[in-house]
Structure 1
């Protein structure tokens, strides 16, 4: 059995993804240096938005917010106007994500939203960002989380 591990792509659009590299599942740690290289080559702030900047942007223009947390996490409080798509359901509900306009993904902290962002990029989405620090950073900035 083998796993696919991607080498670091060049940044830009359209993406120029390299050929996949197949690694044995018995040694998944061999992917870690490639992931580290990919992350090390991202410019600071690449595809992220700070809570304060997102708050200002929400006041000025339409933004689609997607909360990728579990039902339990979502029930504790979410950013008003967010579409709740738990990460476990993301690929089966991807048709709910608009293909135009800014889409901002968040969870807490940002592991699930970063994975979802990469999935969307691979599908051709171009205007996607991740809320840096997730819902915790939003609350820490003194911005409101609402409950149903």
Structure 2
């Protein structure tokens, strides 16, 4: 399966025994109708939840519990979806990358696209069969604040800020300090979604980003406030073949550290 999969292509694969569909929609939306066989995963399970940087990864022990609980096995191909255009689904796929499970896809447009295509929905509760998977953390898909600081002067390094323009400029304050990482380029995550195509990734994403200066000539790290919105921008960059990593500490950490530089 491709990294980005369309609803009709997924529908044709639903009976495959090595397929694991994981839905990160709200509990209410999941209960109202989900892809048949899809397992619900609350997004909170993917985050440490500890102030001041709640978006950091949980411990390996906690992640092991989470992935065992949803029944993940090494042979599974995971398809992630959500009800908001890809943030939480992207966060899950990034987490799979971190634990070395690279058989995964994103349902393009998530449940918006699935519903719009008129494909089957189920309201049956899905009880996953727990697995015994063991995982380890591979730090390569992530960057921390210290590493970002070391690369800020590199010509081929780029920070992609997925927050709103108001957060980027410092007009909206969501930490001790307001503004952005020096040199960061702002492209709000929703700008990569096409509302005319049920929130699928826009077809001109590469050209759109290139006009902003975000392209495959750079080594990119993306962030938001807690690595939720940047779960989607990481996914888009990955789909375009970019050398892209994520900063899970995000602005909630950077903006609260005493010595990190800030621009407005």
Q: State TM-score, norm by structure 1.
A: 0.70
Root-mean-square deviation (CA, aligned residues, Å) is 3.4
Instruction: Extract unaligned runs of 5+ from structure 2.
Output: 1-6, 12-17, 24-29, 42-69, 71-77, 81-91, 101-136, 171-178, 193-201
1:11-30 → structure 2 map (5 Å cutoff): 26-27=33-34, 30=39
Shift of 1:48: 0.9
Structure 2 CA distance for aligned equivalents of residues 38 and 83 of structure 1? 21
Q: Does 1:39 align with 2:91?
A: no
1:33-112 → structure 2 map (5 Å cutoff): 33=70, 34=78, 39=95, 41-42=99-100, 43-76=137-170, 77-90=179-192, 91=202, 92=205, 93-95=208-210, 96=212, 97-112=214-229
The answer on whether the counterparts of 1:51 and 1:132 sit within 8 Å (CA) in structure 2 is no
Which has more radius of gyration?
Answer: 2
Shift of 1:39: 3.1
Going from structure 1 to structure 2, the CA distance change for 1:37 and 1:75 (only over 3 Å counts) comes to closer
1:94-133 → structure 2 map (5 Å cutoff): 94-95=209-210, 96=212, 97-125=214-242, 127-133=243-249
Shift of 1:44: 3.7
* Larger displacement relative to structure 2 (136-145 or 32-41): 32-41
Normalized per residue, which structure has more helix? Answer: 1
Structure 2 CA distance for aligned equivalents of residues 60 and 101 of structure 1? 10
Instruction: Extract unaligned runs of 5+ from structure 1.
Output: 6-17
Structure 1 CA distance for aligned equivalents of residues 250 and 166 of structure 2? 16
Structure 1 CA distance for aligned equivalents of residues 189 and 94 of structure 2? 23
Going from structure 1 to structure 2, the CA distance change for 1:124 and 1:80 (only over 3 Å counts) comes to same
Size of the alignment, in residue pairs?
133
Shift of 1:31: 5.0
Corresponding residue SS for 1:65: strand
Name 1:136's counterpart in structure 2: 252
Shift of 1:38: 7.7
Name 1:146's counterpart in structure 2: 263
